[in-house]
């Protein structure tokens, strides 16, 4: 290597960057990665992992309550926010250490600095001033939460970045947004005992999900005491003696202790120097790439949230891996973005793969819909009011199951496995011949026999 200092320079040590760096190094490439914040990226440091730990914490309230019906007396449970945050931070530190060690074991050099692009092969390391010449540059810089549109007093609100470090549990919190992050945090704070108001401009939560799931989640949240302020937006925030006065678009004012804005995320491309290398971004700042994650500048690739394809950790990891296979492993690999199983860690939880009913009707025309809702067995003794919803969408022509939608306990775990079947192209007949596991909730997925009768045509959604 004469012309270049490294074969690969990765900007950003998150889900996509770390995987790409390790796999490329495994193929014998000399690899450097720059990280401006913490190794592990959004998922490990301030996304999926700490969020799931908080979701676990929030669900104990139900468990303590449910235990009574089974004969347990657990006394009056109390919750200590500081303990949760401290233990969560310890675990995140441990995971960051593992990510660093794995990179180092693979022979990847880690630079703790912001890095920007100077040209198609040069990266500028801001904290040392060094300039590294790289045969390939991988942009894996992720995204950041935004407060769009900006509102007066917006700085009084917090985003998902800060929510993991609040000093105290807010007694009253307003969560703004209707996507999965807003919904998950509303569930977390409701479970931990905060008074939660969820403000969303749409008429239902979770746009893009199956309408039955959206309806059921709205009902479940209302039942759990979440105050749903739908078809409203946040207009302004003002500091008052008693907290933060949040004014909504209908003129109503509510005083709360925290306002968590989770209305969207934007790729971290600002000031990255992409234009100096001939890489332009789209209207939201995302980097357009081809199926191999290559930009229009042949030496520059981009993976993960910065490309705004499917903004999920497993997808960033796959894209990073496929990039390394393609460029350094002589195995050109395309990531299929079509069938992505996914979970929303609301309480109740949601798991989905494939199309919702309306989308399936548009794509496949004639579909059969199987739906069941029931009270989970545990609720019979606990007295809980929760319900499980399961729905299968079947393309009539091929008998293929093209959508599975679950709301209820462990829906995320269930959809991972249902996802294997759907990815393999399982038909309804395959589901039917699968023996039920009894007594479980999941057995309903293989015992639904009668499709719903279509009442009326429905709008696409």
Ligand X SMILES: Cc1cc2nc3c(=O)[nH]c(=O)nc-3n(C[C@H](O)[C@H](O)[C@H](O)COP(=O)(O)OP(=O)(O)OC[C@H]3O[C@@H](n4cnc5c(N)ncnc54)[C@H](O)[C@@H]3O)c2cc1C
Enumerate the active-site residues. Answer: 438
Site for ligand X in 281-310 (CB under 6 A): 304-306
| Closest CB 65 distance from ligand X, rounded Å | 25
Site for ligand X in 245-284 (CB under 6 A): 268, 272
For ligand X, the closer of residues 32 and 359 by Cβ is 32
Q: Which of 53, 59, 134, 142 binds ligand X (CB under 6 A)?
A: 142
- The answer to whether 268 and 144 are in contact (CB under 8 A) is yes
CA distances from 335 to 281, 316, 355 (A): 21, 10, 19
**What burial letters (b/e) apply to 36-64, b meaning 16+ CB within 10 Å?**
bbbbbbbbbbbbbbbbebbbebbbebbee
Q: Residues forming the annotated binding site?
A: 52, 177-184, 264, 305
Q: Which of 7, 8, 24, 35 binds ligand X (CB under 6 A)?
A: 35
For ligand X, the closer of residues 11 and 29 by Cβ is 11
For ligand X, the closer of residues 170 and 395 by Cβ is 170
| Closest CB 264 distance from ligand X, rounded Å | 11
Which of these, 4, 212, 34, 22, lies nearest to 117 by C-alpha position?
34
Omega before 252 cis (within 30°)? no
Q: Is 446 in the site for ligand X (CB under 6 A)?
A: no
| Closest CB 160 distance from ligand X, rounded Å | 4
Q: Is 360 in the site for ligand X (CB under 6 A)?
A: no
Q: Is 62 in the site for ligand X (CB under 6 A)?
A: no
Q: Total residues at the site for ligand X (CB under 6 A)?
A: 35
For ligand X, the closer of residues 303 and 388 by Cβ is 303
Rounded distance between C-alpha atoms, residue 195 and residue 218, angstroms: 16
Q: Is 17 in the site for ligand X (CB under 6 A)?
A: yes
Rounded distance between C-alpha atoms, residue 431 and residue 418, angstroms: 10
Q: Which of 7, 16, 218, 321 binds ligand X (CB under 6 A)?
A: 16
- The answer to whether 130 and 112 are in contact (CB under 8 A) is no
Q: Pattern of binders to ligand X over 93-132, x per CB under 6 A?
A: ---------------------xxx----------------
| Closest CB 342 distance from ligand X, rounded Å | 7
Q: Which of 4, 26, 36, 65 binds ligand X (CB under 6 A)?
A: 36
Q: Is 347 in the site for ligand X (CB under 6 A)?
A: no
Q: Is 412 in the site for ligand X (CB under 6 A)?
A: no
Q: Is 47 in the site for ligand X (CB under 6 A)?
A: yes
- Nearest 5°: phi and psi at 139? -90, 115
Q: Residues forming the annotated binding site for FAD?
A: 52
Q: Is 351 in the site for ligand X (CB under 6 A)?
A: no
- The answer to whether 272 and 117 are in contact (CB under 8 A) is yes
Q: Is 179 in the site for ligand X (CB under 6 A)?
A: no
Which listed range, 140-148, 210-218, 330-338, 380-388, lies at the site for ligand X (CB under 6 A)? Answer: 140-148
Q: Residues forming the annotated binding site for NAD(+)?
A: 177-184, 264, 305
For ligand X, the closer of residues 118 and 399 by Cβ is 118
Q: Is 311 in the site for ligand X (CB under 6 A)?
A: yes
Q: Which of 22, 29, 41, 261 binds ligand X (CB under 6 A)?
A: 41
For ligand X, the closer of residues 399 and 413 by Cβ is 413
Q: Which of 55, 103, 181, 234 binds ligand X (CB under 6 A)?
A: 181
For ligand X, the closer of residues 21 and 392 by Cβ is 21
| Closest CB 177 distance from ligand X, rounded Å | 11
Q: Is 11 in the site for ligand X (CB under 6 A)?
A: yes
User: Longest C-alpha distance within the chain, in Å?
Assistant: 74
Q: Which residue has the tokens 């199926």?
A: 291
Site for ligand X in 206-245 (CB under 6 A): none
Binding site for ligand X (CB under 6 A): 11-17, 34-37, 41-43, 47-48, 51, 114-116, 140-142, 160, 181, 268, 272, 304-306, 311-314, 316
């Amino acid at each position: 290597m004469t012309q270049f200092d490294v074969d690969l320079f990765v900007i950003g040590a998150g889900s996509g960057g770390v995987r790409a760096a390790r796999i490329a190094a495994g193929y014998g490439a000399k690899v450097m990665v720059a990280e401006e914040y913490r190794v592990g990226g959004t998922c490990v440091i301030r996304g999926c992992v700490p969020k799931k730990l908080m979701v676990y914490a929030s669900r104990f309230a139900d468990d303590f309550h449910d235990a009574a019906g089974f004969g347990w007396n657990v006394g009056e449970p109390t919750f200590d926010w500081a303990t949760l945050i401290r233990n969560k931070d310890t675990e995140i530190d441990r995971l960051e250490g593992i990510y660093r060690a794995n990179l180092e074991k693979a022979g990847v050099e880690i630079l703790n600095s912001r890095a920007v692009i100077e040209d198609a092969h040069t990266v500028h390391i801001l904290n040392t001033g060094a300039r590294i010449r790289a045969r390939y540059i991988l942009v894996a810089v992720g995204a950041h939460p935004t407060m769009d549109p900006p509102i007066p007093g917006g700085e009084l609100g917090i985003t998902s970045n800060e929510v993991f470090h609040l000093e105290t549990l807010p007694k009253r919190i307003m969560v703004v947004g209707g996507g999965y992050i807003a919904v998950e945090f509303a569930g977390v704070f409701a479970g931990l005992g905060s008074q939660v108001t969820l403000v969303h401009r749409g008429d239902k939560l979770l746009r893009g999900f199956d309408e039955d799931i959206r309806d059921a989640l709205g009902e479940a949240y209302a039942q759990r005491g979440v105050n749903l302020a739908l078809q409203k937006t946040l207009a302004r925030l003002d500091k008052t003696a008693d907290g933060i006065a949040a004014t909504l678009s209908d003129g109503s004012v509510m005083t709360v202790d925290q306002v968590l804005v989770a209305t969207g995320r934007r790729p971290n491309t600002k000031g990255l120097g992409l234009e100096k290398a001939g890489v332009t971004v789209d209207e939201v700042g995302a980097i357009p790439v081809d199926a191999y994650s290559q930009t229009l500048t042949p030496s520059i690739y981009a993976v993960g949230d910065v490309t705004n394809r499917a903004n999920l950790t497993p997808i960033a990891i796959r894209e990073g891996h496929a990039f390394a296979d393609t460029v350094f492993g002589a195995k050109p690999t395309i990531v299929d973005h079509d069938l992505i199983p996914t979970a929303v860690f609301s309480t109740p939880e949601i798991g989905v793969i494939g199309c919702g009913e309306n989308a399936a009707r548009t794509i496949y025309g004639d579909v059969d819909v199987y739906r069941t809702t029931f009270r989970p067995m545990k609720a019979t003794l606990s007295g809980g009011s929760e319900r499980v919803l399961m729905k299968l969408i079947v393309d009539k022509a091929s008998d293929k199951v093209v959508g599975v939608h679950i709301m209820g306990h462990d829906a995320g775990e269930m959809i991972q496995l249902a996802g294997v079947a759907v990815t393999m192209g399982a038909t309804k007949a395959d589901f039917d011949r699968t023996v039920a596991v009894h007594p479980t909730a999941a057995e309903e997925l293989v015992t639904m026999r009668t499709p719903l009768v279509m009442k009326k045509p429905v709008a696409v959604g």
